[in-house]
Structure 1
Amino acid sequence: MSKRNQYEQTRTNIIILTYNKLEYTQTCIESIRRYTERGTYQIIIVDNCSTDGTREWLADQTDILTIFNEENVGFPKGCNQGIELTSSGDILLLNNDVLVTENWLALLQECLHSSPDIGAVGPTHNGEVSVNYNTADELWDFARSYNSNDSSKWEKRLKLIGFAMLIKRNVVEDIGLLDERFSPGNCEDTDYSFRIIQNGKKIIFCNNVFIHHYGSVSFGEMKETYTVLLEENRKKFVDKWGFHSYLDSATRHDLISLIDDRDHSEQFSVLDVGCGCGATLLQLRNLYPEAKLYGVERNPQAAAIAAEIANVTTADVEKLLYYPEQYFDYIFLGSVLEELMNPLETLIKLRKYLKIDGQIIASISNVMHYNVIHSLLDGNWTYSNTGPLSHNNLRFFTLSESVKLFNSSGFKSIQYFPVTRKVINEMEEWVNNIARATSVLEKEQMLATHYLFKVNNSSEYLFERRLIEISNGIDNEENLSYILEGMENNEINITILVSAISNMKVDKQGLFNYLARAFYRHGLFDDIIPLLNASLEIDNTHQLTLFNFAYILHQVGADQEALTFLNMMNEKDSESELLLASINSNLNISRV
């Protein structure tokens, strides 16, 4: 018996909740009757104490099973009442503000039962794809041409939205009913999606099935109530799961869009730092099935979900990581750098895992956004869940400071793209006045909520980055070996080296002296004096440079010259006094 015949033997239970809005319910039911094969479904409606004639209309419908509640029990409990009324067949949770279309249920069922690993599926809708219809007839025509038996349009997802969610019967039996702590509604569908994944099943978004969703009919007239309820339920979700229902499960399509044009079957490697539950990694898997995907996430609960998708490590990116050097083609940093204690050191460390000509793809919030400036001028610095003043942010960046951060990490090839929002009308004149009043602020920078960065690990600047790492005390021996090898192979000469250090924003004199001592130990004697001279050109009283000049001259027997440099030191420590004694001893012997 085929899988299709197996699931056609039992009817799909379509569970719809109603609370007033009779006209939406009627058109929804009409579309189901019109575009769903008779005998393949059973409509179950749970009415949450409607007062607009909905109950009377439902009572007259002979093909609908109805539960009439005497109070509004909310979405999760109402759905559970409908599920408990069933004993066989899959469960389809459907909002009453939906219009279904031709072949919708058959196509969803085709996907759901295409593999035993699939636990739930959902269709696309007018909020996901661009549509061009204005009337019901145009909608039906659009859907007729859109809906297709095309499995290449199936995508794995982390979660589905409960407005249209088809769930296998055995999954419901395994994981239970919707969690009623989220009543009257919001986050229960995300919670159920993660429970399905925890049960070892996949969630599929069917981009080959289109339905129309009006959206938020139940809460549409109570926007303030909806906002408060959403925040309350997100807190409940965090209490249950340990991570945020939206922020940790959002797909960063903006970062993915900055990947170079690549063939669908091409192999390349990506590290997503702060990957959350792995939504971005999952979308990368959909687009590039052969890609090698890795993630780092410090929240263990979120990392456990992401580990079902890719090779994910539970770790703090600012601490030790264990990856092969020059391994990744891309490293994603989606709103991560702002949350770090030391973003500069982390970038320098991450760079060694990046292939030559690999890319950092990042987003960084813009603290120069006009909302922040306006609030600051009013004496406020109020934190929020997202944006430049996120509760999680430890560092704050403007465009200029972001570019400096990448430059200081040794990156030179930097592209950036502002992400802006339209100024609200009452603020537009204020923004224009501020932009005119100062030469520092540019209006575009005031409109950008954040910037996307595409930063290339160009081989042209590799040795400069090694010098920066030495200056920052990172992997000194490894980086020194690279510099020494370049000098010995004539890939780097002393003129290039001195020029490069002179143009860097590092402790130039400290770096000149470190290299001078290292060159002495490795026998590169001809290159030592130019380094020390370059240091004295910056400051001819620099104590370490004077000492090193004296020390090296003493080692080659030039004690009189060594004494000259030593006498130029304003203060002598114990090491300098010992050197002075040794020089004077040699000079006294030579006079005798």
Structure 2
Amino acid sequence: MVEEIAKMIAEGRGQEAAQAIRRAKQEGKTGSDWIVLEAELAVMEGKIEEARRLLAAGLEQDPEHSEFFVVLGETYSFENSNLAYLCFEQALLYCQTEEDEEMICAAMEDLRKRCGFRVRETSFLIVSYNDRELMKACVSAIRKSVRRGTYEIVVVDNRSTDGVQKWLRDQLDIRLIENGRNVGYPTGMNIAYRACRKENDIFMLNNDAVLTPNAYFWLRMALYAGREVGAVGPMSNEASGQTISPVPGTMEETFLLAKGINLPSEDPCEEALSLTGFAVLIGAEAAKSVSMEKDIMDDRYSPAYFEDDDLSVRILYAGYRNRIVHNA
């Protein structure tokens, strides 16, 4: 029955599909596949906000459902090709069939050819000092959140003493730079920035920060909402000006809470003077605009503190905007 209704929608038989969906709901048919059908019908009828509302409800129950992101991408196809591309890329992350993967890749290729397309890959920059288990959790979350082959991880270790260096050396997808002494956070981040691919967007991430499912995706959606956006930052359980409420007490509570947060939202962003430096995603153009002789941060703030405020203000002075993303 699901396939039959999907065919109706594909053939433009909207009224017939709507009647079939209503009958199915009366019969108690529920689940992700039915939400996808309702959302696709809403897109076909031009009811974009209704489609996104349906998808938000679906993603709260099943945040790794590939088809939700495909339909979400369709809602952006004529509004913002970059956002549509990000949705399809997220669908690809969760895709489980070769046939669907081919269809998604074809849609992404079409979007790449559009005027104004500018989506870039991401360089994750991390300064390490001890906290081996936290670093493992941080890197593991990156790997789960980002499609393989579309990112790099650059870690600068400030002469840790707890064995984290050995673990980092064994990770084939991490470019490790080992300092002979603890040079502090701003200098360490500058070393990482010099080593990364400058054509990429830059994600400065603390080693104790763990990405929840789809948080990275919604940060990118905020970054590519318009060319005026230079940097975005997420919510957290402990970050000045960016703390969620209620504050979760455990990692399990954090991930459970995130299921109800990392969702489509009508107006999720807040303009900000400063972004807290635990996790800041900066567009490649903005990063180049504020870099100082190949450095992204001002070494004068070493060993730490206020370097994120300084960076945020320089991004504003360069003509960009900083935004806190409440659905990440």
User: How far has the Cα of 1:36 moved from its partner?
Assistant: 3.0
The answer on 1:179 being equivalent to 2:298 is yes
Partner in structure 1 of residue 259 of structure 2: 144
1:32 to 137, 142, 153: 142
Counterpart for residue 316 of structure 2: 197
In the TM superposition, what are the counterparts of 1:185-584 in structure 2 within 5 Å? 185-209=304-328
Equivalence for 2:223? 112
Question: Counterparts of 2:170 and 2:118 in 1: how far apart (Å)?
Answer: 30
In the alignment, which of 179, 187, 205 is matched to residue 69 of structure 1? Answer: 179
Structure 2 match to 1:242: none
Letter in 2 for 1:117: E
> What secondary structure is seen at the aligned counterpart in 1 of 2:199?
coil
Write out per-residue CA displacement over residues 272-326 of structure 1, whole angstroms, 9 at most, x where no aligned residue. xxxxxxxxxxxxxxxxxxxxxxxxxxxxxxxxxxxxxxxxxxxxxxxxxxxxxxx
C-alpha contact 2:237 2:247 (8 A) present in aligned 1: no
8 A contact 2:237–2:248 mirrored in 1: no
Q: What letter is aligned with 2:219?
A: L
Partner of 1:354: none
Paired letter, 2:202: I
Distance, in Å, in 1 between the alignment partners of 2:300 and 2:214 is 35
Q: 1: CA distance between counterparts of 2:216 and 2:282?
A: 12
1:374-393 deviation per Cα after TM superposition (whole angstroms, max 9, x unaligned) = xxxxxxxxxxxxxxxxxxxx
Corresponding residue SS for 1:57: helix
Max Rg structure: 1
Q: Is the 8 A contact 1:36 1:103 kept in 2?
A: no
Aligned match of 1:169 in 284, 290, 294?
A: 284
Shift of 1:7: 4.7
| Mapped contact 2:219–2:325 kept (Cα < 8 A) | yes
Aligned-residue offset at 1:37:
3.0
1:98 equivalenced with 2:175 (yes/no): no
Greater RCO (Cα-Cα under 8 Å, separation 6 or more): 2
SS at match of 1:152: coil
Q: Deviations over 1:355-409 (max 9, x none)?
A: xxxxxxxxxxxxxxxxxxxxxxxxxxxxxxxxxxxxxxxxxxxxxxxxxxxxxxx
Residue 150 of structure 1, CA deviation: 1.7
1:118 and 1:162 map into 2 onto residues whose CA distance is 17
Change (3 A) 1:151 1:79: farther
1:168 shift after superposition:
0.9
Kindly indicate which of the two structures has a greater share of residues assigned to strand: 1
Q: Which runs of 5+ in 1 are unaligned?
A: 210-592
2:137 alignment partner, SS class: helix
C-alpha separation in 2, matches of 1:175 and 1:77: 16
Contact 2:215–2:327 under 8 Å retained in 1: no
How does the TM-score come out when normalised to structure 1?
Answer: 0.34
Q: CA deviation at 1:131?
A: 3.1
Mapped partners of 1:92, 1:126: distance in 2? 19
Q: Matched residues in 1 for 2:266 and 2:304: separation? A: 32
Deviation at 1:133, TM superposition (A): 4.2
Deviations 1:518-566, CA, capped at 9 Å, x for gaps: xxxxxxxxxxxxxxxxxxxxxxxxxxxxxxxxxxxxxxxxxxxxxxxxx
Q: Deviations over 1:76-100 (max 9, x none)?
A: 1111111111231100110011111
Alignment TM-score, normalising by the size of structure 2: 0.60
Q: Offset of 1:134 from its aligned partner?
A: 4.2
* Residues 1:88 and 2:199 are matched in the alignment: yes
Which residue of the partner structure matches residue 438 of structure 1? none
Residues 159 and 134 from structure 1, CA distance in 2 versus in 1: closer, same or farther, beyond 3 angstroms? closer
Residue 39 of structure 1: how far off its partner (Å): 3.0
- Matched-pair contact (CA < 8 Å) for 1:16–1:79: yes
Instruction: Write the distance in 2 (CA, Å) between the matches of 1:47 and 1:151.
Output: 40
Structure 1 residues 14-53: aligned runs within 5 Å: 14-53=124-163
Distance 1:57 1:7, change over 3 A: farther
Which secondary structure state, in structure 1, belongs to the residue aligned with residue 235 of structure 2?
strand
Q: Secondary structure at the match of 1:178?
A: coil
In the alignment, residue 103 of structure 1 is paired with which amino acid? N
Would you say how many aligned residue pairs link Structure 1 and Structure 2?
Answer: 208
Q: In 1, distance between residues paired with 2:82 and 2:127?
A: 30
Checking the alignment, whether the CA contact within 8 Å between 1:36 and 1:104 is kept in structure 2 is no
- Using a 3 Å threshold, how does the CA distance of structure 1 residues 20 and 153 change in structure 2: closer, same or farther? same
Question: In structure 2, what is the Cα distance between the partners aligned to 1:96 and 1:132?
Answer: 20
Q: Which amino acid in structure 2 is aligned with residue 166 of structure 1?
A: L
Q: Return the alpha-carbon distance in structure 1 between the equivalents of residues 264 and 132 of structure 2.
A: 33
The verdict on how the C-alpha distance between 1:73 and 1:151 changes in structure 2, with shifts beyond 3 A counting, is farther
RMSD: 1.7
How far, CA to CA, are the matches of 2:319 and 2:231 in structure 1? 12
Q: What residue identity is the alignment partner of 2:192?
A: G
CA contact (8 A) 1:36 1:102 kept: no
Deviation at 1:184, TM superposition (A): 0.8
Q: Give the distance between the partners of 2:211 and 2:316, measured in 1 at CA.
A: 27
Deviations 1:154-182 (A, max 9, x none): 10000001100111111111111211110
Percent identity, aligned pairs only? 37
Which residues of structure 2 form unaligned runs of 5+?
1-79, 86-116
Partner SS for 2:193: helix
Matched, 1:79 2:189: yes
**2:152 is paired with a residue of what secondary structure?**
strand
